[in-house]
Structure 1
């Protein structure tokens, strides 16, 4: 089975010198929920869809309309693109997903990619920490008032984005946040959304509506995960 990930753009996109947000879920759903809230608040529109033979064959129905489970949203006024996914990708797809994102960012002359990763914690820590792929990315973290991570390990798609960005000179910032990893974590979603807005000029978060969006997003993500698992079980029986 091919792991090749394909992007199909649905319109002409101009994001030169802009930003790209990685909205793939990690631990819990906070990253997907934060990016979904940002999309609704800042009036993004769909710019493309992402597919792969390795993705489960699923259509996500919203407001009666079919949608790809992984899509690209854009706001050309703000020069921001978002890779939003209801799929929690298997580890075997992380490298391909990250490289696809980096290739797309290069094509559209993106100056900064912003990703995030959850650190599982039940203690309720609130501090957001940033990791940068380059000196300029680390300067942006400090300018936003965030602490820079000096030592640690960043797994998955965010880790690959950092490594590849370091080699190619692409600015990548990964926000490290705390989450209990269970249910729609409104608090960490809101904090993550607000932190992203410090790094990306113009984007905003409607915190009062975040809880409602979190509940809806959690239902869709959980349903997508469950259906994906059922499909995998039937495919390999």
Structure 2
């Protein structure tokens, strides 16, 4: 099967952060929501985008203004570049996508990669937290005090899996993946908040989270009322099963 190809287009004359933060689209939309919120609420500049002719394009827009689906930003007050990836990258295209990102990162002097990764894995109510999967160098540099628990076991696939594997093979910068459980279809705003707070903790900057917190509360109230209406309509039927009214999704 032929591999999809990707291109990175960047503006000339702009410095790049030494850390690349990657927020891709996955079920629950936690990573991409966190990355997008970050560049909207800190002083940032859009410096480029990732494109491909091999996948169906999407054109996100806001207030009638379209934008590229996978955008690169630099932050003014932190040495970070941020990739906001609103296009879902299929598993079959992840290798080529990672190749393109890593080639660009090498030319820009990127030292490490932080991946914001929401995953809909089975979890209990006390496991709404951020875990990590990180290479030795990243863990030593950024997680010396075990700030976040390591995820016990499993595997990473897609873009995150490609980036970690390349780092293990010495073909990529050190990589840290911040993982939190999500509740599809999303957006899981609580998961996005957890990832955003984790990034603030590790990299020492502050973001006003009030807008995201307000959205989280609105969604919680909406799904709570929806659950009550469904339960009322069922009248004795076991319609909700294990429905979690706090998170608005089935566990």
- SS of the residue corresponding to residue 12 of structure 1 reads coil
Q: Which moved more, 1:149-158 or 1:107-116?
A: 149-158
1:171 aligns with 2:174: yes
Cα distance 1:182–1:58, how it changes in 2: closer, same or farther (>3 A)?
closer
Structure 1: 5+ residue stretches without partners: 215-237
Cα distance 1:183–1:122, how it changes in 2: closer, same or farther (>3 A)?
farther
Summarize deviations over 1:84-108 as a string: whole Å, max 9, x none: 1211111111111122222222111
Q: Which moved more, 1:68-77 or 1:170-179?
A: 68-77
In the TM superposition, what are the counterparts of 1:142-221 in structure 2 within 5 Å? Answer: 142-143=144-145, 145-149=147-151, 151-168=153-170, 170-202=173-205, 204-210=206-212
Aligned equivalent of 1:10: 11
In the TM superposition, what are the counterparts of 1:1-237 in structure 2 within 5 Å? Answer: 3-15=4-16, 18-120=18-120, 121=122, 123-124=124-125, 125-133=127-135, 135-139=136-140, 140-143=142-145, 145-149=147-151, 151-168=153-170, 170-202=173-205, 204-210=206-212
Cα distance 1:33–1:108, how it changes in 2: closer, same or farther (>3 A)?
same
| Backbone CA RMSD of aligned residues | 2.3
Does the 8 Å contact 2:33/2:192 carry over to 1? yes
1:9 Cα deviation from its structure 2 partner: 0.6
Summarize deviations over 1:67-86 as a string: whole Å, max 9, x none: 11111111254221111121
Cα distance 1:209–1:11, how it changes in 2: closer, same or farther (>3 A)?
farther
TM-score (norm 1): 0.80
Aligned equivalent of 2:222: none
After the TM superposition, list the runs of 4 or more consecutive aligned residues in structure 1 that deviate by more than 4 angstroms.
211-214
Structure 2: 5+ residue stretches without partners: 217-251
Cα distance 1:212–1:32, how it changes in 2: closer, same or farther (>3 A)?
farther
Between the aligned partners of 2:123 and 2:168, the Cα distance in structure 1 is 32
Q: Give the structure with higher Rg (CA).
A: 2
TM-score (norm 2): 0.76
